[in-house]
Structure 1
Amino acid sequence: MQVQEDKAYDDINVTPMLDLAYVLLVIFIIMTTASVQGVKVNLPKASNQPSLAKPKTVAITINNEGKIFMDAVPVSREELAQRLKQKKAENPDLPVIVRGDSATQYQNVIDVLALLGELDITQLGLVTQRLVQ
């Protein structure tokens, strides 16, 4: 029988180290999710103060025929101006979004934008559709 000589190991066995790493990872995940849940408390009720409420956005839509709708109600340009003046008096920072049909004449949208400029409405957004590729 031949006796093997004492040789230094060339390779390091990483299996026990990986086992330890996986166990620590599992413990970390369990402890993190357990601490996120927190403690249950009875939260107080907030009062119904209108000043804390988010201002209602006005939606102006121009369809392909050039008809104007304010919050889904058909209006003329004069009615639109009158209603926007009333809403602007209630809320000076009135947010408005404009939705123009892609088939409508560009001038119809420009007329509405000009009206908003005359009324000094600066919180303005134009709605578009995301391009699908």
Structure 2
Amino acid sequence: MDAGGAKGKAKTDINVTPLIDIVLVLLIVFIVMVPGLSRAMKVVVPQVQVTSAPPKPDPNNILIQVDQDGSLMLQSEKIDAEGIKSKLPDAVMLQPLNYRKVFLKVDEDVKYQVMVDVLDAIRVASDSAKKKSLEQLDKFQGQDGGDVKVAVSLKRRAAAATAPVS
């Protein structure tokens, strides 16, 4: 075995035998793995349907709007926070079980506290609807319908109205 170069100096050549061994092992691993990687899953891409008219709103959807001045509208009827607590449970009870939703549309200039009060009124109405469902448990075959889910969106004004004039 050669330990060094000429005259007791260190040998500067690289021993490539272990490198070749590692490269051959990696080559074998990749040759074995490639056929398994070429299998692809079939994907069904949804097709886009172009319609000229927007879809009609679902009559089961409950929409509460909060305008800039803090006034509330349930569907198209002007209402106050106490009115939400009294009328919303009956509207929620008409929705299918496990699909109880309320859409809340809030103007961007409404104070945060007004929105919190409306959300609290929706929560109280949801609890009231749940109690009514539990009272009529035999009618719903043991299902209480769950809580009301709330989707909140922010109404913004047109960008042109707020853009600076130059």
Q: Scaled by the length of structure 1, what TM-score is found?
A: 0.51
In the alignment, what sits opposite 1:100?
106
* Cα distance between partner residues in 1 of 2:78 and 2:155: 23
In the alignment, what sits opposite 2:22?
none
1:96 to partner: Cα distance? 0.6
In the alignment, what sits opposite 1:125?
151
RMSD of aligned Cα (Å)? 2.2
Partner SS for 1:125: strand
Map of 1:26-45 to 2, 5 A cutoff? none
The number of aligned residues is 78
Select 1:65's aligned residue among 66, 69, 76. 69
- Could you report, residue by residue, the CA deviation over 1:20-70 in whole angstroms, capped at 9, with x for unpaired residues? xxxxxxxxxxxxxxxxxxxxxxxxxxxxxxxxxx66111100111110001
1:129 to partner: Cα distance? 5.8
5+ long unaligned stretches in structure 1 = 1-53
Select 2:78's aligned residue among 74, 77, 99. 74
* Cα distance between partner residues in 2 of 1:89 and 1:96: 12
* Cα distance between partner residues in 1 of 2:85 and 2:116: 14
Answer whether contact 1:55 1:94 (CA < 8 A) is retained. Answer: no
Q: Scaled by the length of structure 2, what TM-score is found?
A: 0.41
Change (3 A) 1:97 1:56: same
**Displaced runs of 4+ in structure 1, greater than 3 A?**
none
Partner SS for 1:127: strand
Same amino acid, percent of matched pairs:
17
Change (3 A) 1:80 1:129: closer
